[in-house]
Structure 1
Amino acid sequence: MAIAHIDSSRPVVTLVNVLKVSPEHQKEVLALLAEATEGSIKHLPGFICANFHASLDGKSVVNYSQWETEEDFHAMMADPEIQTLLEEAAANVLEFHPRLYEVASSHARG
């Protein structure tokens, strides 16, 4: 199983998407994203991993996912099945701010 590995020497594309949600919808959005990932997204070419974070105040969800290439990510976003799944989750999202990143540096204790 692939896990997030943050290393500036590793050539991956990272999606960081901050979704603003109502606290009463946070768990539903998380469940829909997890379902879409488990059922479809993780089986697509270039997918490495996805991690979903729930803010303690219930007002946001952060999606941190890694892809082998930017092209793999864009192919996923263009897939009609994936678009349908993500639109279902987006129905309860007030706003979202997806951005693609590369790791510039990473630092660890010790």
Structure 2
Amino acid sequence: MPRINKNNSVITPIVIFSVEPERQQNLIDIIIDFLPDVEKQAGFVSASLHKSMDGEKVVNYAQWQSIKDYEGFLENPNLQSGRTKLSEFNRPDSHIYEIAISESKVGIPSISKGGLTHIAEFRMQPENQARLVELEQENVTIAMEHPDLLSATFHRSLDGTRTINYGQWRSLDNFDLLLKEPKYESVREYWKELAENEFHLYQVVHTVGN
């Protein structure tokens, strides 16, 4: 079972596909068929597939031992067949991340099939990333007051252009409280002068590795 541990030594490629809702399951099936070959690559740790509940996104939250291992996987010519099938879909937004902030009510968070998450992607100019991470640190405690939010983990991309909040939820029934209640106002506003934001709600549909 993949674990999201701020103190581990892995790198975290997060690959976000935008997809037509009617093709979402097809994309997931192609990735699942490709994963047995990926698992054999040196340095592979885990992969966790998420489907957005609106049908518009598929996210692979992956873990590798090192950037060198991940680049070796990307450059491996023996995996071209799987890549060709994926090239039939929109080019994904793919970056390598490290964990910057992690708050949890359940110890070290783990990713399991059926889990409920929201993944919020922040896009910014590199000169704004450090300040955004500071503000994320200031506001994560407020967000964690939501009774159904189990963990919130902020990742920063190594190229400086992204941060991602990976939030795990007990239930999404009351998620809208985060968007409406006055007590969470700062959580909704802190990033607006620094970044563009897009978020979707997801379910974990497949995991491999640990």
Same fold, TM-score > 0.5, yes or no: yes
- What does 1:21-36 align with in structure 2 at a 5 Å threshold? 21-36=19-34
Do structure 1's residue 106 and structure 2's residue 102 form an aligned pair?
Answer: yes
TM-score, L = length of structure 2: 0.48
- Which blocks of at least 5 consecutive residues in structure 1 are unaligned? none
Counterparts of 2:5 and 2:67, CA distance in 1: 17
Q: Give the superposition deviation at 1:82.
A: 2.0
- Give structure 1 regions of 4+ aligned residues with deviation exceeding 4 angstroms: none
1:56 Cα offset (Å): 0.8
Q: Deviations over 1:28-62 (max 9, x none)?
A: 11011111112x00011100010110111111100
Which protein has the bigger strand share? Answer: 2
Rounded to whole Å, the distance in 2 between the matches of 1:32 and 1:99 is 21
CA RMSD of aligned residues (A): 1.2
Larger radius of gyration: 2
Q: Higher relative contact order at CA 8 Å, sep ≥6: structure 1 or structure 2?
A: 1
Identity %: 25
Which structure 2 segments of 5+ residues have no match? 107-210
Q: For residues 33-44 of structure 1, what are the structure 2 equivalents within 5 Å?
A: 33-38=31-36, 40-44=37-41
TM-score (structure 1 length as normaliser): 0.89
**Offset of residue 14 of structure 1:** 0.3
Partners of 2:84 and 2:61 lie apart in 1 by 18
Aligned to 2:75: 78
